[in-house]
């Protein structure tokens, strides 16, 4: 997803800021969240274009490469002290609250809070924008799906804060 990325990343950072404010984060956590939103998929630069833009299902080997992008992102960024706040989101945004995510299979509070917040924003954004394999969902539909995944993919407390923002606000944030 290297084309038209800047606008999408700014949108993710803006939406992350709004959800972070709803959860009353410490300034350092807020910084980690917003910087992480901007840099979350930096590790994808190590993926071949053929894998990144493959229209059909991935082979086991291609999926293994994709699952390596969070760690790749950490390796790229950890040498730049100014960017270390982003590491929580970069390394853990594909973890799931129920432990079914990657790369480490972390659960619940083991997952950094910034990553748990970003995961919700990223999912809402993905669901409400067209993808090659499926059309966009409406904001209300996406919020319903989010609610169904509370305690599964997502932290229930973060889902609650996202629902509290309401559909009209999300429509603005994700436009």
Predicted local confidence at residue 56, as pLDDT: 83
Contact 11, 173 (CB under 8 A): yes
HEC secondary structure over the chain: CCCCHHHHHHHHHHHHHHHHHHCCCCHHHHHHHHHHHHHCCHHHHHCCHHHHCCCCCCCHHHHHHHHCHHHHHHHHHCCCHHHHHHHHHHHHCCCCCCCCCCCCCCCHHHCCHHHHHHHHHHHHHHHCCCECCECCCCHHHHHHHHHHCECCCECHHHHHHHHHHCHHHHHHHCC
CA distance 92 to 95: 5
Cis peptide upstream of residue 68 (ω within 30 degrees of 0): no
Count of alpha carbons within 13 angstroms of residue 22, beta-carbon side: 20
Predicted local confidence at residue 98, as pLDDT: 98
User: What are the mean pLDDT values of the chain's consecutive 10-residue runs (175 residues total)?
Assistant: 70 95 92 95 92 88 94 96 95 97 96 97 94 88 97 98 96 94
Predicted local confidence at residue 5, as pLDDT: 75
CA distance 44 to 40: 9
Measured N-to-C along each axis, helices 27-39 and 5-22 cross at an angle, to the nearest 10 degrees, of: 160
Predicted local confidence at residue 4, as pLDDT: 57
Q: What is the pTM of this model?
A: 0.93
Predicted local confidence at residue 1, as pLDDT: 44
């Amino acid at each position: 997803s290297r084309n038209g990325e800047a606008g999408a990343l700014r949108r993710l950072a803006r939406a992350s800021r709004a959800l972070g404010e709803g959860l009353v984060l410490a300034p350092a956590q807020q910084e980690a969240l917003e910087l992480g939103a901007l840099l979350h998929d930096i590790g994808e630069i190590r993926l071949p274009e053929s894998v990144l833009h493959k229209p059909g299902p991935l082979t086991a080997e291609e999926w293994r490469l994709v699952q390596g992008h969070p760690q790749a992102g950490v390796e790229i960024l950890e040498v730049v002290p100014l960017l270390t706040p982003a590491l929580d989101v970069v390394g853990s945004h594909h973890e799931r609250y129920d432990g079914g995510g990657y790369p480490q299979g972390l659960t619940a509070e083991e997952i950094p809070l910034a990553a748990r917040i970003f995961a919700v924003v990223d999912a809402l954004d993905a669901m409400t924008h067209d993808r090659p394999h499926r059309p966009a969902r409406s904001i209300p539909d996406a919020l319903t799906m989010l609610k169904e995944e509370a305690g599964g993919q997502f932290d229930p407390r973060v889902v609650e804060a996202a629902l509290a923002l309401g559909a009209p606000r999300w429509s603005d944030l994700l436009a």
